[in-house]
Amino acid sequence: MLAQQKAIVQATVPALQQHGETITKVFYQTLFEENPALLNIFNPANQQSGGQSRSLAASILAYAANIDRLDQLGGMVSRITHKHASLEVQPEHYPIVGDHLLRAIRTVLGEAATPEILDAWGAAYQQLATIMIGAEKQLYTEGGAQPGGWSGFQPLVVERKVVESETITSFHLASPSGQPLPSFLPGQYLAVKAHVADAPFQQIRQYSLSQVSNGKTYRISVKRETAPLHIAAANNGLISNHLHADVHEGDTILAHVPQGDFVLREGSRPVVLLSGGVGITPAICMLQHLTLNSTDRRVLFVHATTQRSHHSFRDETRSLVEVHPDARALVFYEKVTAADNLGHDYDLTGRIDAASLRPYLPQEPADFYYCGPPGFMSAVESVLDALNIPLADRYSEAFAPDPSFATEMARA
């Protein structure tokens, strides 16, 4: 990119910031009108909620603001490219997306989008696309090259289906031919592709691997997602309900090799794992890994759930912390009944807050990992702020289009 083009891109950040979400909404509208096949890889619920538009706008603005310091973008590019790789985004998609993005900028900014501005943004997009295509190529090569690896989506057979709670069921998956499965890091996810009967398009969803890599089986644990009460049941979560209702032991599902950059950092620092609801899936995998491999690291496993009937992996959590010489679990229930057993089912009542956590936190600097629904994520961020936990010590995964690119940028 020319220095003059970079200067134009940086100068137009405020205008794009003001109109960022409108631009991305216009972008998606024309993109899907002219390329309906792309509806097989984009999630309509993320379009409906606006989450994907916000995430795309935030990432493009972060990129534009840092166009002179691309090394600052490491975390963001890695998060996006792992997600893209799990969806099989290909180099030939990039010119299509770039064309619609520039057209959307022109439509929304009108005459303010001069030929110089469009030319500079075209060059900026091309530069980012080149970085992403390179990173994705590397992920595809690694996925295919590792022992047991494959490219694209391959069938895995459901060996066991285990009910973990009223809403969460685990699927234990293996290769139909008995081949070993590729290894993965604790915190990574498996993308699953399905074409649900009567749905107009096939869809892909990511599920965190909830059991450590063992070379033979993968475990994913899926929450059945229902629409809010005032919305018709026809809008219940498409793939999670399909997996719960239609996929049985002995059936196969299509899966991608594991991806994801929300992974446990090795080292000797204490680890604090905070999860809300189904966000327990990467956390339980990390806890297993620490129990098996890092008995010298202090571990605090904090889990918040609404009530006993929604509490998954209760016994597994208790056994893991018992085996680890320096681990402790703290379980918060929002609603407690007389049948719930303090110290066995749960440890604290209500929601996670700084005052309840403080007495249990390691004294020395620690790594904090957190994952859960959007309300839980913002509550934990406030708690970590109140506890003065530096941004550089925080790692998070959202089970939705990532709202946290601002945090990522600050960390970088």
Ligand X SMILES: Cc1cc2nc3c(=O)[nH]c(=O)nc-3n(C[C@H](O)[C@H](O)[C@H](O)COP(=O)(O)OP(=O)(O)OC[C@H]3O[C@@H](n4cnc5c(N)ncnc54)[C@H](O)[C@@H]3O)c2cc1C
Q: Which residues bind ligand HEM (CB under 6 A)?
A: 38, 41-43, 46, 52, 55-56, 59-60, 79-80, 83-84, 87, 89, 93-94, 97, 125, 128-129, 132, 401-402
Q: How far is CA 365 from the centre of its chain?
A: 25
Instruction: Note the helical H segments in 42-197.
Output: 44-49, 51-65, 74-86, 93-109, 115-145
Strands (E) across 295-363 are located at 299-305, 327-333, 348-349
Q: 346 touches which of ligand HEM, ligand X, none (CB within 5 to 8 A by kind)?
A: none
> In the bound complex, what is the minimum distance in angstroms from residue 362's beta carbon to ligand HEM?
29
**Is-catalytic flag, 94?**
yes
> In the bound complex, what is the minimum distance in angstroms from residue 106's beta carbon to ligand HEM?
17
Minimum CB distance to ligand X smaller for 125 or for 171: 171
Catalytic residue selected from 28, 94, 207, 369: 94
What sign does the CA torsion over 47, 48, 51, 53 have? positive
> In the bound complex, what is the minimum distance in angstroms from residue 185's beta carbon to ligand HEM?
17
Q: Report the alpha-carbon distance of residue 207 to residue 281 in Å, rounded.
A: 8
Q: 208 touches which of ligand X, ligand HEM, none (CB within 5 to 8 A by kind)?
A: ligand X
Pairing of strands 299-305, 327-333: parallel
Minimum CB distance to ligand HEM smaller for 98 or for 180: 98
Which candidate, 121, 80, 63, 136, places its Cα nearest to that of 409?
63
Minimum CB distance to ligand X smaller for 113 or for 135: 135
Pairing of strands 299-305, 271-276: parallel
> In the bound complex, what is the minimum distance in angstroms from residue 276's beta carbon to ligand X?
12
What sign does the CA torsion over 96, 97, 102, 107 have? positive
Q: 221 touches which of ligand HEM, ligand X, none (CB within 5 to 8 A by kind)?
A: ligand X
Q: Report the alpha-carbon distance of residue 231 to residue 208 in Å, rounded.
A: 27
Q: 236 touches which of ligand HEM, ligand X, none (CB within 5 to 8 A by kind)?
A: ligand X
Contact 305, 332 (CB under 8 A): yes
Q: Report the alpha-carbon distance of residue 142 to residue 155 in Å, rounded.
A: 19
Classify burial at 21, counting beta carbons within 10 Å of its beta carbon; exposed 0-12, middle 13-18, buried 19 or more.
Answer: middle
> In the bound complex, what is the minimum distance in angstroms from residue 87's beta carbon to ligand HEM?
5
> In the bound complex, what is the minimum distance in angstroms from residue 235's beta carbon to ligand X?
4
Residue with the CB atom nearest ligand X in the bound state: 237
Q: How far is CA 100 from the centre of its chain?
A: 26
- The sheet with strand 299-305 has its strands ordered as 348-349, 327-333, 299-305, 271-276, 367-372, 394-398
Q: 189 touches which of ligand X, ligand HEM, none (CB within 5 to 8 A by kind)?
A: ligand X
Minimum CB distance to ligand HEM smaller for 181 or for 398: 398
Q: Report the alpha-carbon distance of residue 89 to residue 87 in Å, rounded.
A: 6
Q: 399 touches which of ligand X, ligand HEM, none (CB within 5 to 8 A by kind)?
A: ligand X
DSSP state of 111: G
Q: 108 touches which of ligand HEM, ligand X, none (CB within 5 to 8 A by kind)?
A: none
Catalytic residue selected from 28, 63, 125, 136: 136
Minimum CB distance to ligand HEM smaller for 100 or for 324: 100
Contact 252, 176 (CB under 8 A): yes
For 254, what's the count of Cα atoms within 13 Å in the CB-facing half-sphere? 15
Minimum CB distance to ligand HEM smaller for 129 or for 361: 129
Minimum CB distance to ligand X smaller for 43 or for 52: 43
> In the bound complex, what is the minimum distance in angstroms from residue 223's beta carbon to ligand HEM?
17
Q: Report the alpha-carbon distance of residue 397 to residue 48 in Å, rounded.
A: 21
Residues engaged in binding ligand X (CB under 6 A): 43, 45, 48, 189, 205-208, 221-223, 225-227, 231, 235-241, 278, 281, 397, 399
Q: Which residues are catalytic?
A: 94, 136
